[in-house]
Structure 1
Amino acid sequence: MPVPMDAFDDVRPAIERLDLLPDPVAAALRDWRGSVPVEEIRYVDTDPAIADTALLVEHHGAWLLEQSANCVVVAGKRGGDVTLAACLVLSHTRADVNGVVRRQLGARKASFAPMDTAVGDSGMEYGGITPIGLPGNWPVLVDAAVADIPYALIGSGRRRGKIIAPGKALAELPGATVIDGLGVA
């Protein structure tokens, strides 16, 4: 199976494209501490009109769906406390928000965070939120299937552009917990 880099003409180390990334993502890459060298995190410039996974896959090929991952922001509530968390699952699955995520957060109720909260608190654009550079107090829940793939195509923090990162690098992000069964069909 091809790797996500095969779908794009211009793939460069993301550390060389910090000017195209939102501040939190650029800062996280500048301060990279993972075992995977930061140069293995790649950036590709993409048309924001096809930023959504279904459109990107339609444009570049169905094989890309198996190697794309979506990051969704979830709000877990218990009493008056709200915990925001990021969930990273393969694009052909969905995060088990009411089961796995709710239990992992120790919440009575979990739901997708309101768009203004997700965007405002992450410093990223809706439809482009990435697990790289999220606030340090956010849990980052990574489906084991994402951690196991050689490379995952994920958001860049903006609708324009994508990041291609080794699954291992995503599993090592600050606050990350790898969870079997986080993504369900």
Structure 2
Amino acid sequence: MSELASGEGRGGGAGRKRFLADAAARGLAVDLVERQAAASLEEAAAILGIRPGDIVKSLVVKRKDGSFLFALVPGDRQISWPKLRQLVGVNKLSLPPADVALAATGYERGTITPLGSTTAWPVYADAAVAGRRISVGAGEHGYSAFVDADALVAALGAVVADITEPL
């Protein structure tokens, strides 16, 4: 196992270690890569040598009752609030401020992933992620993880549905 795959790279990386430990506990194969910072989704995709749609954003969504869920959204799409509200069975959902998302997951924006979250919130994955290899946040800035989307969805017990629309 490489230094990066073991979670022992630069700076200790507590979030990255949580991510890797949870993936391992679920039997999920992930390939962790170190990458330079990117100013945009398109730039991140170019750095990783993939299409923007192959980067899957893990968005933290707040329910009216104060609980949260994760929405896995391809980079070239956005949440369709009406579709997600209908699926979840609520009339109000929102994206919380960065500090609230950090408190809910233990991850900073740009690193968020359901894997290793400090609370195991329900996961809803857009159907467009299925059937391919994707890149997701790895719990620490400067890292991305590649994973089989179908294996990720299965490992997380995610609900798969049409929850997005084009940007």
Match of 1:3 in 2: none
Q: What aligned pairs does 1:10-159 form with structure 2 within 5 A after superposition?
A: 16-20=5-9, 21=13, 22=15, 23-33=17-27, 38=28, 40-47=29-36, 49-50=37-38, 52-59=40-47, 63-77=50-64, 81-96=65-80, 98-135=81-118, 137-149=120-132, 151-159=133-141
C-alpha RMSD of matched pairs (Å):
2.3
The number of residues matched between the two structures is 160
Q: 1:69-110, CA deviations, whole angstroms, 9 ceiling, x for partnerless residues? A: 111111121xxx2220111111000011x2122223222211
How has the CA–CA distance of structure 1 residues 108 and 59 changed in structure 2, closer, same or farther, with 3 Å as cutoff? same
How has the CA–CA distance of structure 1 residues 146 and 166 changed in structure 2, closer, same or farther, with 3 Å as cutoff? same
2:163 partner amino acid: L
Which TM-score applies when normalising by structure 2? 0.83
CA contact (8 A) 2:52 2:75 kept: yes
* 1:29 Cα deviation from its structure 2 partner: 2.2
Mapped to 2, the partners of 1:67 and 1:182 lie a distance apart of 16
How has the CA–CA distance of structure 1 residues 123 and 111 changed in structure 2, closer, same or farther, with 3 Å as cutoff? same
| SS of residue matched to 1:85 | strand
Which 5+ residue runs of structure 1 have no aligned equivalent? 1-11
Q: 1:11-65, CA deviations, whole angstroms, 9 ceiling, x for partnerless residues? A: x697x332355143133023124xxxx3x31111011x2174232134455x521
* 1:175 Cα deviation from its structure 2 partner: 4.1
Q: Taking every aligned residue pair, what percent have the same amino acid on both sides? A: 25
